[in-house]
């Protein structure tokens, strides 16, 4: 039961959700080899509790193998939880899977689905029909979606003749053509060029804006994408949720005070006693042969005026000044302990 003070049930809710995988054992046709000495189970999700509100665009961020896809598979009724529970649109993924299925759809980046002998339009039609979308409606939506992803001229091309990215775009369309109430996108922009990825992000944002009753859960490795799109983000690693909040709040965690970066012409002084100014939390300077790089963090933001003035009075020439915003990547590195780049997929 949802708490009394929250009248609308969560679109997606998990409670202490866990999933383990049996470690692969080598099999022979006459029987099974006894298991080795490593533990028989691998924990992919470890007590995940999350709640996504209807209308929310929710992001899952995590390094490779964090358990993002595993979580999505459980929510899309493709994988059974090992422990805990999960609800989609208020329905239990284990006992009410049949009722969940008409309401959801899922697309994952790099998926190889589809029939090579069919063309793009026929493929999308087939996967719309299994949701009961009438043919005329399906074609209308297919036209619209192909235009969004820029595949209109490929509508009649066989799937085998598509490039990887084009195939990815076709699958992206597949998710929207059934007009799901809750949509799961697992790395939707994986392997797409910059312009296409941007078009897709813009579309996702607009789709959500036009349909306030829909919910979208997305995983991505692109921090900027999560930052730009998501209302809230959960950072997960090794099957555990490390943090879950709005991107702004997450960023506030790693950087408590607003930070300004100033570049000064060499030979300036007067920056040494900036920390004495009221409202200045900390000031550090690095001297390069051609400039002085100054980082000032402020406990009160208006103090930046006083800082500039103090520098000018001290004879410093300011070459540039910019407010430095923390990125989700900073948050990620702080929480996970390493960047995404250090554990790339092979």
Q: Which of 12, 13, 124, 125 binds another protein (CB under 8 A)?
A: 125
Count CA atoms closer than 13 A to 214's CA, side-chain side.
Answer: 21
Cα-Cα-Cα-Cα torsion 235, 241, 245, 250, nearest 10 degrees, comes to: -50
Find the shortest distance in angstroms from Cβ 35 to another protein. 15
User: Contact 241/61 with Cβ under 8 angstroms?
Assistant: no
Tell me the C-alpha distance between 84 and 48, whole Å. Answer: 8
Find the shortest distance in angstroms from Cβ 69 to Mg ion. 3
- Could you give the string, one character per residue 215-254, with x where binding to another protein holds by CB under 8 A and - elsewhere? ----------------------------------------
Residues 6+ apart with CB under 8 A from 38: 23
Instruction: State the residues that interact with ligand ATP by CB under 6 A.
Output: 21, 42, 44, 62, 64-70, 345
In this structure, are strands 57-61 and 215-220 parallel, antiparallel, or unpaired? parallel
The partner in contact with residue 66, picked from another protein, Mg ion, ligand ATP, none with C-beta cut-offs of 5 to 8 angstroms by kind, is: ligand ATP
Backbone angles phi, psi at 312, to 5 degrees: -65, -45
Footprint (CB under 5 A) of Mg ion, residues 57-86: 68-69
Tell me the C-alpha distance between 307 and 156, whole Å. Answer: 63
Beta bridge partners of 282: 297
Backbone angles phi, psi at 263, to 5 degrees: -115, 130
Find the shortest distance in angstroms from Cβ 240 to another protein. 19
The partner in contact with residue 62, picked from another protein, ligand ATP, Mg ion, none with C-beta cut-offs of 5 to 8 angstroms by kind, is: ligand ATP
Query: Which residue number, 127 or 172, has a Cβ lying nearer to another protein?
Result: 127
Footprint (CB under 8 A) of another protein, residues 35-74: 69-70, 73
Which stretches of the chain bind another protein, using CB under 8 A?
A: 21-22, 29, 69-70, 73, 76-80, 98, 101-102, 104-106, 108-115, 117-118, 122, 125-127, 129-132, 179, 181, 186-187
């Amino acid at each position: 039961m949802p708490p009394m003070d929250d009248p609308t049930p969560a679109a997606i809710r998990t409670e202490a959700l866990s999933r383990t995988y049996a470690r692969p054992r080598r099999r022979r046709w006459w029987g099974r080899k006894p298991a080795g000495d490593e533990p028989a189970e691998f924990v992919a999700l470890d007590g995940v509790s999350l709640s996504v509100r209807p209308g929310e665009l929710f992001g899952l961020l995590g390094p490779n193998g964090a358990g993002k896809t595993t979580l999505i598979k459980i929510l899309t009724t493709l994988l059974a939880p090992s422990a805990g529970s999960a609800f989609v649109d208020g329905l239990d993924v284990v006992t009410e899977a049949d009722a969940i299925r008409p309401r959801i759809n899922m697309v994952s980046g790099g998926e190889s689905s589809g029939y090579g002998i069919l063309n793009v339009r026929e493929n999308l039609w087939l996967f719309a029909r299994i949701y009961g979308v009438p043919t005329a409606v399906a074609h209308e939506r297919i036209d619209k979606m192909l235009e969004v992803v820029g595949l209109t001229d490929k509508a009649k091309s066989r799937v085998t003749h598509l490039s990887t990215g084009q195939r990815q775009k076709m699958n992206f369309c597949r998710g929207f053509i059934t007009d799901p109430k809750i949509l799961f996108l697992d790395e939707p922009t994986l392997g797409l060029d910059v312009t296409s990825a941007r078009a897709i992000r813009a579309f996702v944002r607009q789709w959500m804006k036009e349909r306030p009753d829909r919910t979208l859960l997305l995983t991505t490795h692109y921090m900027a994408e999560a930052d730009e799109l998501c209302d809230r983000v959960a950072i997960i690693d090794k099957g555990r949720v490390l943090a879950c909040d709005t991107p702004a709040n997450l960023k506030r965690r790693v950087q408590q005070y607003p930070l300004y970066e100033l570049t000064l012409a060499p030979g300036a002084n007067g920056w040494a006693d900036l920390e004495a100014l009221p409202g200045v939390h900390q000031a550090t300077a690095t001297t390069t042969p051609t400039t002085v790089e100054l980082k000032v963090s402020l406990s009160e933001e208006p103090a930046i005026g006083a800082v500039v003035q103090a520098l000018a009075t001290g004879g410093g020439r300011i070459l540039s000044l910019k407010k430095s915003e923390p990125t989700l990547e900073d948050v990620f590195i702080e929480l996970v302990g390493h960047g995404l780049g250090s554990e790339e997929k092979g």
